[in-house]
Amino acid sequence: MFNGAVPPFTVGPAPARLTAARVLAVLTALIAAVLVTPAGPAGAAPDPAQGLLSIGGLERTYLVHVPPGPVTGLVINLHGAGMTSRDQAVSTNYDAAADRHGFVVAYPDGIDSSWADGRGASVPDRQGVDDVGFLSTLITQLTQQYGVDPNRVFVTGMSAGAFMATRLACDRADLVAAVVPVAGTLGSAVPCAPSRPVSVLAVHGDADPVVPFNGGPMVGRGGPSDIISAPAMADRWRAADGCPPPVVTPGRAVSTGCADGTAVEFVVVGGGGHVWPTGFGFDATNAGTDFFAAHGR
C-alpha cells in the first residue's frame, strides 16, 4: 500500500477541454511519485536502520549501517555516557569511513545511556545488566545476518563506550579481533585475561579532564570509580599479546609482531581533552577504520 505524500495539485477553474496530453501528463506524474516513494504497510513503518534485540528480559535497541558494496567486516561502535546510538553515529562520522572498507557498523544503545563496563559507576552496572552478553549476542546475530567473516569483528567506543569496548575485548577475545578504545581505559578492579591475542589501538588525550590520563579516581555521569592509566592499559595489552618493546615516536608507541600477528598501538593526543579526536593532526575515525582493515585474524 502506498503511504507516502504526493505534492498537492493547485486546483483552479476547470479548463474548457481536458486533452489527452493533459491526462497523460497527470498520470505520468502520479506514477513517478509512487515509484520514488518507499512502499510499506499503512501507518508508521519502522526505519530499516533500526534494530531490536530481546535479551535478559530487556528490549535492546541499535542502529545498523550497511556499506553499498561487498561486506568485509563488522564494527560495533559504542557511545559515551549520556549519548545515544545516533549521537555516536553523527559525532564520529563513522559510516563514510566504514564504507571505504566495506564494514557494517552497528551502534547499540546502552541502558540509561551508559554501559555495564564493570566499574560499578553506572545504572546498568548497579542493576546487574549483562552488556557483555548483549553485545556478544548482537555480534553473533549480525555476523550471520550480513555474512560477516567472524575473524573480522571489531569494536570501538568513546569514553564509557571505550571502557565497555575494552571489557568486551577482555572477556570475549574469541569474538573480537581488534579494538579501538578512545578516551577510556578499564576499571582498576576489572579483570582482563583475554583468551587469545587482540589487536589494540588505544587513543587518549593527555589533557583529558574526565578520564584522567594517569588513571586513579574519576567521577563520570554515573558516579565515582577508579581506573587504570592510559599508559598502563597499553602495557597490559602488550603483555597479553606477547608483544616486543614498542617503537616510540612523538605521540605514538607501536608494537608489531605480537602473538598471532596482532599489534598494539598507543596514541597520545597532546593537549587533547575528553573528545573523539578529529583535529590535533589525528582522526580517530579514519585511523580506527584503517587499523581494523589491517588487523583481522
State pLDDT tens for residues 172-190: 999 999 999 999 999 999 9
In a domain, 175, yes or no: yes
For residues 229 and 55, what is the distance between their CA atoms, to the nearest angstrom?
33
pLDDT of residue 5: 27
Q: Decide if 286 contacts 182 (C-beta within 8 A).
A: no
State yes or no: pLDDT of 60 exceeds 70.
yes
CA dihedral sign, ordered 156, 115, 185, 168: negative
Write out pLDDT tens, residues 112-168: 999 999 999 999 999 999 999 999 999 999 999 999 999 999 999 999 999 999 999
In a domain, 28, yes or no: no
**CA-based nearest residue to 121, from 178, 174, 164:** 164
Mean pLDDT for 257-263 is 97
In a domain, 101, yes or no: yes
Residue 143's φ and ψ, nearest 5 degrees, are: -65, -40
In a domain, 122, yes or no: yes
In a domain, 2, yes or no: no
For residues 53 and 99, what is the distance between their CA atoms, to the nearest angstrom?
25
State yes or no: pLDDT of 264 exceeds 90.
yes
Q: What letter would DSSP give residue 187?
A: B
* Domain membership of residue 127 as a residue range: 50-294
pLDDT of residue 40: 29
As a whole number of Å, the CA-based R_g of the chain is 24
Mean pLDDT for 21-46 is 32
pLDDT of residue 56: 87
Task: Name the residue with higher pLDDT: 10 or 112.
Answer: 112
Q: How many domains does the chain have?
A: 1
Q: Decide if 96 contacts 119 (C-beta within 8 A).
A: no
pTM, rounded to two decimals: 0.84
Return the C-alpha cell found at 5: 505524500
CATH of the domain at 255: 3.40.50.1820
Average pLDDT value for the chain: 86
SS3 18: coil
Task: Name the residue with higher pLDDT: 15 or 202.
Answer: 202
